[in-house]
Structure 1
Amino acid sequence: MTDSTTPAPAPAPTRDSTVTLREINKDNWREVINLAVAESQTEIVATNLKSLCESHYTEDAWPRAVYADDTVVGFLMLSIWPIEDWYGVWRFMIDHKYQAQGFGRKAIQLAIAHIKKNHPDAKQIRLMSIGPEGRKGVAAKDSPYKFYTSFGWKEISEYDEEGEVELGLDLE
């Protein structure tokens, strides 16, 4: 039961929610670090706590909370450095409760649009992904490879000993 001084909880996001990338600040950092991927995906991406710590000490990090309406549903961190022709998706995750609702797709589209608008000389966006076959400790179904290649990312390196490959998305 709520009284007149207790705000009503925000409605749960839906597929039709507006997705935005917002700066992480004193009001939302706790929500960001409390997000979690599915247990089967924990070997794929670092925790948001680690990523935020790294971003604090790395000049080229561009960390953002992924919102669906007014609910934090994910985390995105780009690597954006001066005078380069490519930038990187350093970290990206959507909380396990909000996966498969289109929020990740919309967030990546917003990241691409941000780079195109604010870094018009960028020729490519790069990222590392586990290959489509998965790897030790990560099942193929948990690999984000198909998600990224659905945007047009293509392999630009050989697979490393960890079963990861660098993917590039041409912006020209």
Structure 2
Amino acid sequence: MTATTEEKTLAPPNRDSTVTLREINKENWRAITDLKISEIQTDYVSTNLKSLCESHYSEDAWVRGIYADETPVGFLMLSLWEPDEWYCIWRFMIDEKFQGLGFGRQAVLLAIAHVKETFPKAKLMRLYSAGPDGMKGSTGDYSPYKFYTGLGFKNEGEYDELGKVDMTLDI
């Protein structure tokens, strides 16, 4: 007896996988909320369940699951609104099993492309609370700061009470 397409096990995603941003709905929300970051990263990222709850009550939240081929690997929430020329990465995470494979970089680039296409007057992408190396409670190795500077984001020099900094990217 041969396995049907549905019964076949998907190959795990790898560096060559195609990354897409997909709407979160009743079919995939549990898979997205089951994604995890490493324990040391919990100071940097809210849970996906909390983020989905917040997005439900925010008119400007745009949420997507990050997929590598057919596997959910992360979560992205943007804050999008019409009146301004800047937009914001509100929440972003890649599951600990899939970090270091380039999925995060591809997802952020897809998010920027979405903003540019949807809001042609967009000039700036912001993100809040990126923890710089050496931030309180951080080893530096797990801080998202290097990831974002590698994408071209710049430190705006405004630190919050935890030592996290706002960053911007000209788009």
TM-score normalised by length of structure 1: 0.94
Give the deviation of 1:5 after TM superposition.
9.0
Distance 2:116 2:90 in 1: 17
1:69 aligned residue: 69
Question: C-alpha offsets along residues 48-87 of structure 1, whole Å, 9 cap, x if unaligned?
Answer: 0000000111000000000000000000000001211100
Structure 2 contact 89–127 (Cα < 8 Å) conserved = yes
Instruction: Give distance in 1, aligned partners of 2:98 and 2:14.
Output: 9
Residue 14 of structure 1: aligned partner: 14
Query: After superposition, what is the alpha-carbon deviation per residue over 1:12-50, rounded to whole angstroms, capped at 9, x for unaligned?
Result: 111000000000011100000000001110111000000
Which residue of structure 1 aligns with residue 36 of structure 2? 36
**Is 1:80 matched up with 2:80?**
yes
Q: Which runs of 4+ in 1 moved over 6 A?
A: none
Instruction: Give the secondary-structure state (helix, strand or coil) at the position aligned to 1:158.
Output: strand
Cα offset, 1:158, TM superposition: 2.1
Decide whether aligned partners of structure 1 residues 4 and 67 sit closer, same or farther in structure 2, where only a CA change above 3 A counts.
closer
Amino acid at match of 1:132: D
Change (3 A) 1:8 1:131: same
Q: Distance in 2 between matches of 1:3 and 1:17?
A: 23
User: Aligned partners of 1:104 and 1:163: how far apart in 2?
Assistant: 23
Alpha-carbon distance in 1 for matches of 2:56, 2:6? 34
Alpha-carbon spacing, 1:57–1:102, altered in 2? closer, same or farther (3 Å): same
Structure 2 stretches of 5 or more lacking a match? none
Q: Which amino acid is the alignment partner of residue 70 of structure 2?
A: D
Do 2:133 and 2:139's aligned partners in 1 also have CA atoms closer than 8 Å?
Answer: no
Q: Equivalent residue for 1:98?
A: 98
Aligned to 1:56: 56
Is the partner of 2:116 in helix, strand or coil? helix
Q: Partner of 2:22: helix, strand, or coil?
A: strand
* Residues 115-126 of structure 1 mapped to structure 2, 5 A cutoff: 115-126=115-126
Q: Is the 8 A contact 2:19 2:107 kept in 1?
A: yes
Amino acid at match of 2:134: E
Which residue pairs with 2:134 in the alignment?
133
The share of aligned pairs that are identical, in percent, is 56
Question: Aligned-residue CA RMSD in angstroms?
Answer: 1.6
Alignment CA distance shift 1:7-1:135 (3 Å): same
5+ residue gaps, structure 1, are none
**Kept after mapping to 1: 8 A contact 2:81/2:87:** yes
Taking the aligned partners of 1:75 and 1:50, their CA distance within structure 2 comes to: 12
Q: Is the 8 A contact 2:82 2:119 kept in 1?
A: no
